[in-house]
Copies of this chain bind each other. A is one copy, B any other.
Amino acid sequence: MKNKLIYLEKLSGRIICILLLSAIVINGLKAQAPPRMVFQREPVVVSPEILKDHRVTFRLYAPEATEISISGEWMEYGNAEKMARNDTGLWTYTTAPLPEELYGYSFAVNGIKAIDPNNAQVKRDGARYENFFIIPGNQSNLYVINDVPHGTLSKIWYDSPVLSMQRRVYVYTPAGYEGSTSRYPVFYLLHGGGGDEDAWSTMGRTCQIMDNLIAQGKAKPMIVVMTNGNANQSAAQNDIPFAQDQGMAGMVSYAGKFEESLVKDVIPFIEKNFRAYNDKDHRALAGLSMGGGHTVTVTTENPNTFSYIGVFSAGLRSIDPQAPDAAKLEKERDARLEALKNSGYKLYWIGCGEDDFVKESSDYLRKTLDRLNFKYTYRESSGGHSWANWRIYLSEFAPLLF
C-alpha cells in the first residue's frame, strides 16, 4: 500500500508531524481495520537531556540568533548563563550535576524569553510561562505521575455571595472517591501573591504529591480544595484576563474579603457538593506566603473551624511599640490566639526557609506562640521563598493530617 504523505504542520522550517492520509480517512471499514496512522518526527533536538550523573544538557537550534542565554531555578536568583553556538546554529549548555528537584528554566534569545520547543512540560506562574524538568530522587518522585491510583482534579464554579460573583475552585478528590459512598476529610490549600487557583495543582504538583503519598500509605485519602485567594478575581488570568485595575492592584478594596468568603462561601459549597465531613477535626487549612497570612487570619478569627493548620513561608508582623494603641492591639491579638489554642486544634505547623525574606516574621510568629504556650511544629528548610520549599512542606504536612 502506498500512502500519500500529508504535511500537517511546518513551523520554523521544521516538520512537526507527518500524517499519513489514511489516518484520517478510512480504508474500507474492515472490522478491526487498523487506522493506518503513522506519525513521525524528524530527528529532533533533544532538550533537556538529563544525563546519568544528573548534569543536564539544553539544546536550541537557532541559527539566526546572535546571543542566547539560559536561566534556571538551580542558579542564583536572577542569574543567567550564556549558551554556546556551534557552526550549524545549535546552541547548547550543560549544568553541573543537580540535586533532585523540579526545576523551571527558560531561554533568552537576544534578550527575549523563549520556551524550549523540544520540551512540552511548561508551567505558568501568573502571566509567565517557562519549561521545567525533574531530576529524579526520593522526594522529587513524589512530583511525577507514577503508576499508582490517581485522584480526580475538578475545576468547578461556586457562587460567592460574599464577593458577589461566581468563582472557580480546583478540587482534588482521591482515587476511589467516585466509586465510594464514604465521606472524606477536607484540606483547604491556599496559594501566594501572584498565584491563583491553578498554582498548587501545577507548580505545587498537588495531585501528584497526594496520589503518591496516599498510594504509599503515608497520607490518608482526603479532598484537597485549592481556591483563588485574590478576592477580586473570579478565575485565573489565563482564563479570564483582567485589566490592569482589576488585577492585583484592585485587591486593595477587597481586603479581608477572601478570608470571609473562604469560611462563608467555599466551605459550605464543598460540604454540600462533595462527600465531605463537616466538623473541624476533618478540616485542615494551609497556605503559602499570602495564603499563609490568610491561614493565620482565618484560623484566629474562626477558632473552631480547623483542627489542622499549616503556615508556609509566612508569619506575624510585630506591633510597633510606638503605636498609640500598641498594648491594646497586642492584647487583642493574644486573646484571639488564646481562643484558638483553647479550641483544641490538633496541629499548628510552621515551615520556613532559612533564607526566606519572611523569616523574621515567621520567627516572630513562633515567639508569640511560645509566649502564649501555644504548641506548634516548626520545620526550617534550606533555601528561600520558593515552590521547591512549598512542595516539600506539602509533602511533609499532608501525612500529618486526619
Contacts and interface: CB of A to CB of B under 8 A. Distances in A.
Interface of A: 6, 8-12, 16-17, 19, 21-41, 44, 60, 62-67, 78, 107-115, 117-122, 124, 126-129, 145, 147, 149-150, 152-157, 166, 168, 175, 178-179, 192-194, 235, 237-241, 244, 247-249, 251-252, 255-256, 259, 272-273, 289-290, 292-294, 296-297, 300-301, 313-317, 319, 329-330, 332-333, 336-337, 357-358, 361, 364-365, 385
30 contacts: A8-B193, A11-B113, A16-B128, A19-B290, A24-B293, A24-B313, A24-B358, A25-B361, A26-B317, A28-B333, A29-B332, A29-B336, A31-B336, A33-B256, A35-B290, A36-B255, A37-B255, A38-B249, A39-B194, A39-B249, A39-B251, A41-B248, A109-B114, A110-B110, A122-B124, A122-B238, A149-B166, A150-B166, A152-B155, A152-B156
A319 B149 CA distance: 45
A37 B252 contact: yes
Given A24-B315, A120-B124, 18 more contacts: A9-B194, A16-B127, A16-B194, A22-B317, A25-B316, A27-B319, A28-B329, A28-B333, A29-B337, A30-B329, A36-B255, A40-B248, A41-B248, A64-B110, A115-B129, A117-B127, A121-B238, A153-B154
B319 A28 contact: yes
A293 B27 CA distance: 10
